[in-house]
Chains A and B, each alone.
Chain A
Amino acid sequence: MTVTSAPRPATAAGMPPRTSLARKFWRRCLRNPATFLSLMFVVLLALVVVAAPLLGRFDPLEQDLMRAFRPPDGQHWFGTDRFGQDIYSRVVHGARLSLAVGFFSVLMGLTAGVGIGLTAGFFGGVTDELLMRFIDVLLAFPGILLAILIVSVLGSSLLNVIVALAVFSVPIFARMARGSVLATKNLEYVDAARAVGAATARILLRHIVPNILGPIVVYATLRMASAILGGATLSFLGMGLAPPAPEWGLMVALGRQQVQSAPHVVFFPGLSIFLTVLAFNLLGDALRDVIDPRSKPV
């Protein structure tokens, strides 16, 4: 291109200009079909979430026993379930629930985790010891067990599922934030900020948090996948939303009884979970390669 770009505003010392990351990511998308497809899928999901009422062909809750267990056809693209509810419309509306669970639980877990990690790392000593022991306790419950316990105590509702999955995300963000504070808090520029009288909160937010924005974005994307899967799993176990909510995991659970005669009832909601989780995972991996190429995939 021959167009001369406007001079870039000076960025903080050592920080690469922002556009290069976006451009690198885009280049990776063009080179790697899996990344491109997952980006497209996530964009599609976002559209579905916004336009669910327009895209859904039927009311997702409307029952009509006369048309129960129809296999997929031109009228009912994904068939109907035992109440005659249109599965395609339910899957489309279910995207809202799944993405809401994923997004808000990650946001909550991220905020709490980063807060805990920054505090522990910056103040050190007893504060650090106490907070990190607390994180260890959260990690002592294997897998989804902690989320199951939390929901069984609080009762099942959308909000409680989000809270339970948020707790599940706290440790990873806390550890990451703490690690990066420990790595940066004794660097000269932080000392300099302190010397000119910057408040602790300002030092943390302006000088330390920007360093971990990259990994935060990467982990948030990856946790979206885990949280969506976790939410569906809780619903499958009967600990998430109650029927007739069009929740994907719940739809799989309810379709189980007649799965031999009507496999489509189970197939499409499960496929939606699968593709959504896959897309977020692939996207998270691509972001990691671009933002933080030295880190190892886990």
Chain B
Amino acid sequence: MAPTILVVATLTFVALNVVPGDLAVMLAGVDARAEDVARLRALYGLDRPIVVRYLDWLAALGRGDLGISSSLRAPVAELVAARLPATLSLAFASMAVATAMGIALGSWSARRAGSIVDASVLVASQVGLAVPNFWLGILLLIGFAATLPIFPLQGYAALVRDPWAWARHLALPTLVIGVERGAVLTRLVRASLLEEMGRDYVRTARGKGVGDRAILRRHVLRNAAIPVLTVGGLQLGYLLGGAIIVEQVFGIPGLGRLLLQGIYARDLALVQGAVVVIALLFAGVNVLVDVLYTRLDPRIQYAA
């Protein structure tokens, strides 16, 4: 995990620091006076060699210091921390919807494999995968926020301050991501259930007279959970940074939107900081999934 983060951080730094053009000029504006440009260059440390800047940045990163945002004029770590609740709420709520949908539809479809129900679920899941989420989001906003004013058009409310407003703000974005991610999980649950149900232990259990329901709950679901957990974990990781588009459409002040703001404003520190935090969250979720594996399947062990 640590090496991945280091490589991601390095790659991000290198990529963003070889941008053609002078950042100080970009910040000050093309018709700025030379002394203003020089002042900005000194302020953001752009007058030092790139290797020094890199090592400095890395050392600061180790201390949890992500630098100062040039466009928002605040410490990046604070900006990121302020955006985390919205992103985490959206990611976990969406994954809850997606998981519930995936398990329900996937097992419904697997138990009737080959039937019309199964075929319809498979096509529906393809539809869920193919809908551009920004388009679905806009359509839902027209329908359920503008035409029928059930949900708010834009924004976010903190859970601790007003749980009801929080839920109303998150309902539509959660639905958009839930449909997309749920489609993936539905297909996966179906495929892994079908695979497990063809195994010898299922036949043995059936031979002993165990009921279908018990076989499914006690044996099959447990084994089928492993691939589902892998992909679910990956998706949660994706969402921590990958809800960028949905955050943008629904005006949710999350990490992804902060990153976009940074990119639009050419705010180096902000972009670097946001990317590193997103990669960190992504790697963290993956580690968590690995730990969960060993709980679900005692056969899996990791060398220390």
Contacts and interface: CB of A to CB of B under 8 A. Distances in A.
Nearest to A153: B15
Contact of A259 (B142, B263, B283): B142
Interface string A259-298: 1100100110011011101100110010000000000111
Given A137-B11, A153-B16, A281-B126, A274 B131 contact: yes
Contact of A149 (B15, B142, B282): B15
Given A137-B8, A143-B241, A277-B132, A148 B263 contact: yes
B254 to A, nearest CB: 13
Interface stretch (A58-66, A191-199, A206-214, A232-240): A232-240
B107 to A, nearest CB: 16
Interface string A146-188: 0011101100000000000000000000000000000000000
A145 B242 contact: yes
Contact of B132 (A256, A270, A296): A270
Interface string B15-45: 1101100000000000000000000000000
A282 B127 CA distance: 9
Residue among B129, B135, B142 with most chain A CB within 10 A:
B135
Contact of A273 (B132, B231, B242, B271): B132
B5 to A, nearest CB: 8
Contacts of A256: 138
B105 to A, nearest CB: 14
A129 interface: no
B146 interface: yes
B123 interface: yes
Contact of B126 (A273, A278, A296): A278
B56 interface: no
Contacts of A270: 132, 134-135, 138-139
A132 to B, nearest CB: 13
A298 B192 CA distance: 10
Nearest to B241: A142
Interface in A86-107: none
A266 B138 contact: yes
Interface residues of A, number: 45
Contacts of B135: 252, 266, 270-271, 273-274
A277 B130 CA distance: 5
A143 B142 CA distance: 27
A249 interface: yes
A229 B275 CA distance: 22
Nearest to A232: B132
B8 A278 contact: no
Nearest to A151: B263
Given A274-B130, A285-B126, A145 B241 contact: yes
A229 B195 CA distance: 30
Contacts of A274: 130-132, 135
Contacts of B127: 278
Contact of A229 (B12, B132, B138, B240): B132
Contacts of A259: 138, 141-142, 146
B130 A281 contact: yes
A140 interface: yes
B244 A236 contact: no
A140 B282 contact: yes
B188 interface: yes
A34 B123 contact: yes
B141 to A, nearest CB: 8
A140 B129 contact: no
A137 B130 contact: no
A34 B237 CA distance: 32
A259 B260 CA distance: 22
A267 B283 CA distance: 37
Interface in A114-139: 133, 136-137
Contacts of B263: 148, 152, 239
A149 B138 contact: no
B7 interface: yes
Contacts of B15: 149-150, 153
B98 to A, nearest CB: 15
A30 interface: no
Contact of A140 (B4, B16, B245): B4
A69 to B, nearest CB: 15
Given A236-B245, A297-B187, A142 B132 contact: no
B238 interface: yes
A149 B126 contact: no
A241 interface: no
12 contacts: A140-B279, A143-B242, A143-B244, A144-B242, A148-B260, A148-B263, A152-B271, A153-B16, A232-B132, A249-B134, A253-B134, A278-B126
